[in-house]
Amino acid sequence: MAVRANPRLIDELELYGAEDVQKCYHCGNCSAVCPFSREPFLFPRKSMRYLQMGLEERLAGTLEPWLCYYCGECSEQCPREAEPGETMMSIRRWLTAQYDVTGLSKLFYRSWRAELAAVLLVALLTGAGFLLFGLKYGGGSLGVYAGPGAFLPASSVHVFDWILGGTLAALLAANCARMWWLTTGRDRRVRVPLLDYVTRAFLVPLHFVTQKRYRECESKRPWAVHFALVASYLTMLVLIMLFLESLHAAPANRLAHAFGYLATAGLLGTTLYALRGRWRRATPLHRHSHETDWVFLVLLVYVAATGILQHALYRWFGLDTAANVVYIAHLMGAVPMLAVEVPFSKWSHLAYRPLAMYFADLHERALARAASPAGAQSVPAAA
């Protein structure tokens, strides 16, 4: 059965940043220079083709964009300046919107005003909420930062963290499930046995933690930066989700603090590096910046900076009031950043990428099995 082409999908993807994909004339250069492109996952050309032709269903089912790390080799050598790397990036944004069950992602990516408004709204709600909470249920006085009578007791914030984390995780899980359905579940060509799902599941945490595939790019620096960023972020996540109270504890928990400093330095360093790159447009990766990239990076810098500032104000200068104000400001950045970015925008790729590697592995195995004669026999048996 023939698939219907849609010459207008390209217009939609333009909103996600694919501004040059129409220039591609399919010489195959990009797929061949890409160190990750190998059978059965040939990209970026093929994904670009689906996009150009408007084969929406095919495009929504591709794993390839998640296998791309945007090293920029393809864009640098593209004879038509069709920016394959950026196109893959744009497809990732579009895919994020496709996976998202709420439809908010679509709204945010297509309109930076909507995203900014959402961020501001959540920020205001967070600020107002914590202020009210502090005044009503907390210590009541902005002058106390930590200990009993703290304006925002660590234990309460911790509970809030877990509620927020749980909600976001649930949303993300729903998105991941939809990703599975679009890329693997509905695809009749790949039949993945249940056992494979179990035995290969280790790939998800492996890729999540190590980002090892990224290292296969010709230039190692982007991987290093990315790794530092992710490691810092994870450290912070662990600290906040598990050790928030000990961070706030009056006698300084040196070990926790040491990790905190390290993570903060990592976050600030990498994000500032990324911002500088985007500002200078140094590499193909940085030449094109979708508005959402800026929102994300600025928020991250802001959160890291306010995080360390409130810490410094309290620990080093003993300015409790100022620390509390900055803490609320910090939360006003952190909450919207997490609420918007994790399930609906850029941050979600932390989940999608390792998942995609996992699915890709399953696909590869399924296809290999189908191709080999033994597999061919086992298929009717399974049916």
Partner 1 sequence: MSRPPLPRIGVFVCNCGTNIARTVDCEEIACAAMEWPGVVVARAYKYMCSDPGQEMIAEEVREKRLDRVVVAACSPRMHEPTFRRALASSGLNPYLLEMANIREQCSWVHDDPRAATDKALALARAAVARVVRHEPLEKRFVPMNPATLVLGGGIAGMTAALQLADAGQPVTIVERADRLGGNVARIDLTAPHLDSARELLLGRLARVSMHPMISVLLRAELEQLEGYQGNFTADVAVEGASRRLEIGSVVVCTGYKEFDAARVEGLGYGRLPDVITSFELELMLKRGRIEMADGRTPRTVALVHCVGSRSEEYHGYCSRVCCMTALKYGHEVKSALPGAAVVDLYIDMHAFGKGCEDFYRKTAEIKTLFLMYGKNAPPVIRPAGPKDDCNLLITLDEKLSGEEIEVPADLVVLMVGMEPREDAGRVAQLVNISRDKDGWFIESHPKLDPVATTTDGIYIAGACQSPKDIPDSVAQARAAAARILAKVAKGKIEVDAIFAEVDAARCSGCRICGTMCPYGAIEYDEEQKSSRVVEASCKACGCCAAACPSLAVRARHFTDEQIFAQIEGVL
Partner 2 sequence: MSVAASQRVGVFLILDDGERPPARGGPPGLDLIRSYSSQLPEVVRVSTLPATPRPDPLALASAIRRDTLEAVVLAGANPGALKPAFTRAMDLAGADPARVRLARFRRGDGSDRATEAAQAAVACAVLGVPYHLATIRETRAVHAGTLVIGGGVAGIQAALEIADAGQRVVLVEKTGTLGGHMAMFDKTFPTLDCAACILTPKMVAVGQHEMIEVMTLSEVIGVDGTPGNYRVEIRNRARRVDPAACVACHACMEVCPTIVPSEFDAGIATRKAIFMPFPQAVPNAYLIDAASCVYVQTEGQRCGACVKKCAKQAIDLDAEDEVVLRDVGNIIVATGYEPFPAEQVERYGFRRYPNVLTALEFERLTNASGPTGGRIVMKTKRFNKRRKVEEWVCDPEGPQPASVAIIHCVGSRDRNHNPYCSRVCCMYSLKFAHLVREKLPDARCYEFYIDMRAFGKGYEEFFERIKEEGVAVVRGRSAKVIEKDGRMVVRGEDILGDRMLEYPVDMVLLSVGLQPSPGSADLAALLGIGRDEHGFFRELEYNADPTGTERGGIFVAGVCQGPKDIPDTVAQAAAVAARALRSVVSGIERDSSGGLTAAQVESRARELATQLAAL
The residue from 16, 36, 37, 54 that contacts partner 1 (CB under 8 A) is: 54
Q: Residue 47 or residue 283: which is nearer to partner 1 going by CB?
A: 47
Cβ neighbours of 361 (radius 10 Å): 16
Q: Residue 10 or residue 249: which is nearer to partner 1 going by CB?
A: 10
DSSP string computed for 230-268: HHHHHHHHHHHHHHHHHHHSSS--HHHHHHHHHHHHHHH
Q: Where in 27-86 is the site for partner 2 (CB under 8 A)?
A: 27-33, 37-39, 42, 45-46, 77-81
Nearest distance, CB of residue 81 and partner 2, angstroms: 5
- In whole angstroms, give the CA distance from residue 229 to residue 233: 6
Selection from partner 2, partner 1, none that 58 binds (CB < 5 to 8 A by kind) is partner 1
Q: Residue 35 or residue 147: which is nearer to partner 2 going by CB?
A: 35
The answer to whether residue 287 forms part of the interface with partner 2 (CB under 8 A) is no
Q: Residue 23 or residue 191: which is nearer to partner 1 going by CB?
A: 23
Q: Where in 173-192 is the site for partner 2 (CB under 8 A)?
A: none
The residue from 16, 18, 43, 46 that contacts partner 1 (CB under 8 A) is: 46
Q: Residue 27 or residue 170: which is nearer to partner 1 going by CB?
A: 27
Stretch that binds partner 1, among 52-60, 213-221, 316-324, 339-347 (CB under 8 A): 52-60
Stretch that binds partner 2, among 26-34, 124-132, 213-221, 354-362 (CB under 8 A): 26-34
DSSP string computed for 40-85: TB--SHHHHHHHHHT-HHHHHT--HHHH----SHHHHH-TT---HH
Class of residue 318 by CB neighbours under 10 A (exposed 0-12, middle 13-18, buried 19+):
exposed
* 61 closest CA partner among 201, 205, 179: 179
Nearest distance, CB of residue 74 and partner 2, angstroms: 9
Beta bridge partners of 41: 38
Q: Give 275's contacts (C-beta < 8 A, 6+ positions apart).
A: 297, 298, 301
Q: Which two tokens stand for residue 375?
A: 């597999």
DSSP string computed for 192-231: --HHHHHHTTTHHHHHHHH-GGGGGSS-SHHHHHHHHHHH
Q: Residue 50 or residue 99: which is nearer to partner 1 going by CB?
A: 50
Positive/negative CA dihedral, 188, 45, 278, 263: positive
Q: Where in 3-42 is the site for partner 1 (CB under 8 A)?
A: 3-8, 10-11, 22-26
Per CB under 8 A, residues contacting partner 2 are 25-33, 37-39, 42, 45-46, 77-81
Binding residues vs partner 1 (CB under 8 A): 1-8, 10-11, 22-26, 46, 49-50, 52-55, 58, 80
